[in-house]
Amino acid sequence: VSCSVPDSPRVRHVSVASVSRPVTLPAVASLIRSPCLGPGVPGQPCAIHLCLDVSFSPAELKRGISQDWTSSPKLDRYKIARQLTEKAIKEKKIFSIYGHYPVIRATLRRKGWVEKKFHFLPRVIPNVDDDNAGVTGKENQEAALETTDDIHDVMSRLVKNEVPYFLWTIKRDVVDYHSLSCDQMLNHYGKTASFTTKIGLCVSMRSLPWYVHADPDSFFPRCYGLCSESEKQEFLDDFRRTAASSILKWVVGHQSHRGGQPGGRAEACDPGPSSRKASQSADSRLTGLSEQLVDTACKVCQAYLGQLEHRDIDVPEDAGKGLTEDEWKDLTEQYYSLIHGDAFISSSRNHFSQCQALLNKITSVNPQTEIDGLRNIWIIKPAAKSRGRDIVCMNRVEEILELVAADHLSAKDNKWVVQKYIETPLLIYGTKFDIRQWFLVTDWNPLTIWFYKESYLRFSTQRFSLESLDSAIHLCNNSIQRHLKNDKDRSPLLPYHNMWTSTRFREYLQKRGRGAVWVGVIYPAMKRAVANTMRAAQDRVEPRKNSFELYGADFVLGRDFQPWLIEINSSPTMHASTPVTAQLCAQVQEDTIKVVLDRRADRSCDIGNFELLWRQPAVELPPFHGSDLCVEGVSVRRARKQMPPISSVNFPSSLLDIQPLKVSCPSAMPSPPLGAPTTVPQQDPRLREARKARSATTPSVGKVKLPTCNFQHVDSRAPKTGPTNAESDRPSDPKIPNEPALPPALPSVKTAEGLTLLQILSPLCDVSFDPLWYLWM
């Protein structure tokens, strides 16, 4: 008899011939051993056919395998748990999880890992269905106590004093990051705020050209941090330039809408309701604006082009002055009236060609001209918040500056980021969406990035419109949209849960004849944006070995299918809030474990839907970090006056034992005895005249080159000769103080030509040297 049943389930029914009654696995074994069942002679072997109908009640689903364990002896239960635990400890397979990550927990357990829980107290299991809605608190407590008898809880208690070698937390601050050993893995890096916060990403994109040959304006909407007055002024200048270019777009779009020019830019520059109102108001009920507004806007755009082409470098400051503050205010107010449909320009056709030419030039140098639209909408975000909290859209500059300058905000919270809103997004059935794309970083030096092949789309619950700046229309965050109801006017072809997989999106594109756009445009551009962003932020991240982190990047597609990076999130949500996230979030977590754990043992193992995006050669860390610079070196000293070299000198041992004497210059003369009158020694006139004569025939010190002299040492025991020339030249005047007598060894040091060392040195300087001091040096 053979049958296959799951590990330790409770068998509800066992059908043997005509016998059908609830039994357990031991009862099945007793039935199999019984010789009286089934047809045949008692005591004879017979064929028994078992039909196992396994079913579970909701309570048993909660308790899992704990009920079957309770029916087994406790000794066997702890024995098996201890064996599994000892094996995991030996292989360093102890992990800890902080947060709601059931997929990570189940995946690691299947691989033989044992969990060390942060808390060992029994947990109250929430109800998973409505059948047990009336369960009392006592029954919940009993269920929790039964859960503690689960084999995994037993194993967790056995490893409560062990070191976890794999930590998965929702935040890095949950554990002491710097106290971890080198063999402990953590799913976070330190100092990632340079790209995981809105203000950090804004600053990193500005420094991108220093690291990568790429233009951040080609994939990241321009952004300003409104934390300083200089940043506010830059944003104000940008808003004014965008308003001027929007006036030009209105002129071109208005004429194209009226059919003044065939083709034109009607599709790229939507004239909007304001232009349609102007074209339909034949009775001129709207306020008419003068042509000077267009001339002023053209002047601003021409100055902007001059700045981009660096033509303003050699222009004098007086000639380069732009509009005054009053002129800017007047232009801004007229722009508001024009774009919002309260005014129109009656003779705009006269400026069509000029506006069209300027827009073409601006588009060639500014890749964000298309996404700017007409309404000059900006999105204001708190610098360090996520999930769409406190994000608003505005199109009036004075309201934006007033918001960020509110006095009721603290200094910590008064950090705002303003980013240009994409006014021309790609729509699906008239609804806006964004893309959540995962990528994994397993090392920062060398930088190693893994890109996930699958992603998902998040739809808005409302139809897209620029007439309203409601966040429900323009923000696709699931944390915002899940609290709203789908608009009745929205297309029924959109999913009720407001999510698509990227596979479903590719099918949508394929049906519309744009199937090659995903592989040819969208997917490669998202990969380039992620790689460039990580390379720009690499120097600011703390590169801990044996760590990794999964990130979630948000993209919005333009009308030309170009993806625009909006933000990058650390610890992206993994909750199964919809059928799409239930599938993809579980899949990406399992594939992450494959990359960070399985691939360490087998480089050719299956890594799921991850693909290697970027791996740079290893780079040695610089000796400094950031702006902590210092200068090291030694002070410059005046070089000593070099003396001509004297070669082939043999010194006797008795000469080396002589103590050195100081140079006999006036600054180094020995001090006279205390109380003695200080007298200035006078030089003998005959000696001074002899030195002058020698100086006249001797070249300067810097150019003198003495011949090689071979010194010979005369034994000190040899009979003393008469006085040398130097001794004979000593003055005999008693008024001149006597210099210290030379040691007896000095007369014995002679050159091959019979000259003493003092005779050689005396014409080279203005002071008399002690020869022994020179030889000692």
Same domain, 539 and 658: no
Residues 428-442: what's their mean pLDDT?
97
- The pair of three-digit structure tokens given for residue 152, joined into one six-digit string: 């995994």
Residues 443-453: what's their mean pLDDT?
96
Contact 475, 434 (CB under 8 A): no
Count structural domains, the chain. Answer: 5
Residues 6+ apart with CB under 8 A from 259: none
- The pair of three-digit structure tokens given for residue 475, joined into one six-digit string: 């923000």
pLDDT digits (tens, 9 = 90+) for 586-617: 999 999 999 999 999 999 999 999 999 999 88
pLDDT value of residue 91 = 95
Is residue 161 pLDDT above 50, yes or no? yes
Is residue 769 pLDDT above 90, yes or no? no
DSSP letters spanning 272-300: HHHHHHHHH-TT--SEEE-THHHHHHHHH
Q: Is 205 part of any domain? A: no
Q: Is 572 part of any domain? A: yes
Q: How many CA atoms does the CB half-sphere of 22 hold within 13 Å?
A: 4
- The pair of three-digit structure tokens given for residue 15, joined into one six-digit string: 């059908």
Q: How many CA atoms does the CB half-sphere of 307 hold within 13 Å?
A: 14
Contact 686, 733 (CB under 8 A): no
Contact 549, 192 (CB under 8 A): yes
Residues 557-577: what's their mean pLDDT?
94
Q: Is 724 part of any domain? A: no
Same domain, 76 and 50: no
Same domain, 580 and 438: yes
Same domain, 575 and 439: yes
CB atoms near residue 489 (< 10 Å) = 8
Last residue of a domain, one of 325, 350, 372: 372
Strand-strand pairing, 563-570 and 549-557: antiparallel
Mean pLDDT of the chain: 74
Is residue 751 pLDDT above 60, yes or no? no
Same domain, 234 and 144: no
Contact 567, 201 (CB under 8 A): yes
Amino acid occupying residue 587? Q
Q: Is 191 part of any domain? A: no
Same domain, 106 and 51: no
> What CATH number is associated with residue 572?
3.30.470.20
Cα–Cα distances in angstroms (integers) from residue 579 to residues 433, 481, 501, 576, in the given order: 17, 16, 10, 7
Same domain, 436 and 580: yes
> Is residue 326 within a helix (H) or strand (E), and if so which, with residue range?
helix 325-339
Q: Could you tell me the residue range of the domain that residue 50 belongs to?
A: 1-55
| pLDDT band of 73, cuts 50, 70, 90 | low
Cα–Cα distances in angstroms (integers) from residue 266 to residues 244, 277, 344, 421, in the given order: 19, 16, 17, 20
pLDDT digits (tens, 9 = 90+) for 260-314: 443 333 333 444 444 444 444 444 467 788 889 999 999 999 999 988 877 767 6
3-state SS, one letter per residue, for 432-497: CEEEEEEEEEEEECCEEEEEEEEEEEEECCCCCCCCCCCHHHHCCCHHHHCCCCCCCCCCCCCCCC
Helix orientation angle between 292-308 and 229-257, rounded to the nearest 10 degrees: 120
| pLDDT band of 21, cuts 50, 70, 90 | very low
Q: Is 150 part of any domain? A: yes
Residues 132-155: what's their mean pLDDT?
51
Same domain, 234 and 312: yes
Amino acid occupying residue 87? K
Residues 36-61: what's their mean pLDDT?
45
Backbone angles phi, psi at 20, to 5 degrees: -145, 110
Q: Is 195 part of any domain? A: no
| pLDDT band of 258, cuts 50, 70, 90 | low
Q: Is 392 part of any domain? A: no
Residues 6+ apart with CB under 8 A from 622: none
Same domain, 159 and 234: no
Strands (E) located in 88-192: 94-98, 114-115, 166-169, 185-186
Same domain, 587 and 657: no
Percentage of the chain with pLDDT > 90? 44
Instruction: Tell which wins on pLDDT, 48 or 643.
Output: 643
| pLDDT band of 361, cuts 50, 70, 90 | very high
Same domain, 291 and 360: yes
Radius of gyration of the chain (CA): 45
Instruction: Tell which wins on pLDDT, 479 or 654.
Output: 479
Strand-strand pairing, 712-713 and 610-615: unpaired
CB atoms near residue 466 (< 10 Å) = 19
- Global model pTM greater than 0.75: no
pLDDT digits (tens, 9 = 90+) for 485-508: 888 889 999 999 999 999 999 999
pLDDT value of residue 165 = 96
Contact 428, 459 (CB under 8 A): yes
CB atoms near residue 543 (< 10 Å) = 18
Q: In a 3-state reduction of DSSP, which class is residue 49?
A: coil
Q: Is 404 part of any domain? A: no
- The pair of three-digit structure tokens given for residue 532, joined into one six-digit string: 């460039």
Contact 548, 598 (CB under 8 A): no
DSSP letters spanning 697-714: HS--TTT--PPP---EEP
pLDDT value of residue 47 = 46
pLDDT digits (tens, 9 = 90+) for 612-631: 999 988 666 666 556 667 77
Same domain, 363 and 236: yes
